[in-house]
Amino acid sequence: MTKKITMGLVAAAAITAFAFTAPKYTTTYTVDTKSTSAAWLGKKVTGQHNGKISVSKGTVTADHGSINGGTVEFDMNSITCEDLTDKEWNGKLVGHLKSDDFFSTEKFPTAKFEVTKATLKKENDYDVTGKLTIKGITNEITFPAKIKMDEKTMVVIAKITVNRTKYDIKYGSASFFESIGDKAISDDFELDVNLVASAK
C-alpha cells in the first residue's frame, strides 16, 4: 500500500511539473513545421486511403491565454499516400490527388486555415472556428481540439472533417453523380493535426 501511495505521489508531482500554465499577456506562437504533423484519411465504398501533408508555416496568437487569431498554411504538393506499397499505384493516386479532379496543386499550391475564435468548453477542450481555403475557395468550419499553452509552447491536437465538395472537389461524389455506384468516394475527408508552436 505504501509503495502504491509513493508511486501515486511521484506521478502527481510529474504531472504538476509538466503542467501548462496559460500566459497572462498577448503571445504570438510560431509553428514548428518539423515537429508539426498532419495526416489525412479519405474513404470510399470499397475501402480507404491515408497519407500525410506538410504544414509549411503558421502563427497563432493568444491574449491572456485565450486564442484570438492565427494562420496555418499547408503545402498541397507535399501530399503523400502511406497505405499503397506498390510504387506505381502509389504514384498514380498521389498524382490524381494533385490533379484538377481533386486539389489542383499546380494552380493552388497552398491551402490555408485562418483562426477567428477558439471557444473553451472545459479544461484544454476547445471548439475552434475559422476560415478554410482550398483551391481558392473559402468556407467557415468549426472543429474540436485539445489545446495546451504556456509562456513558451502551444500544442494543438485536432481532428478536422472537411466536406471536399464545398471546395469544388466533386470527383467520385455520389451527391453529384447518382449512377456512380460502388465507385463513390466520400464527400468528407479527415485531417488529424498535431501542431507544435513556440512563442517568439
User: What's the grid cell of residue 41?
Assistant: 484519411
* pTM of the predicted structure, to 2 decimals: 0.85
Query: Residue written as cell 512563442?
Result: 199
Give per-residue pLDDT as tens, 91-104. Answer: 999 999 999 999 99
Distances (CA, A) of 25 to 69, 146, 150, 188: 14, 21, 11, 38
Q: Residue 54: pLDDT band by 50, 70, 90 thresholds?
A: very high
Give per-residue pLDDT as tens, 123-134. Answer: 999 999 999 999
User: What's the grid cell of residue 15?
Assistant: 504531472
Phi, psi for 65 (deg, rounded to 5) = 85, 0
Maximum Cα–Cα distance across the chain? 68
Query: What's the chain's length in residues?
Result: 200
Q: Which pLDDT does position 87 carry in this prediction?
A: 97
Give per-residue pLDDT as tens, 145-173. Answer: 999 999 899 999 999 999 999 999 999 99
44 has which bridge partners? 47, 185
Superfamily of domain 22-199 in CATH is Lipid/polyisoprenoid-binding, YceI-like (2.40.128.110)
Find the mean pLDDT for residues 11-21. Answer: 42
DSSP characters over 1-31: -HHHHHHHHHHHHHHHHT-----SS-EEEEE
Q: Where are the domains of the chain?
A: 22-199
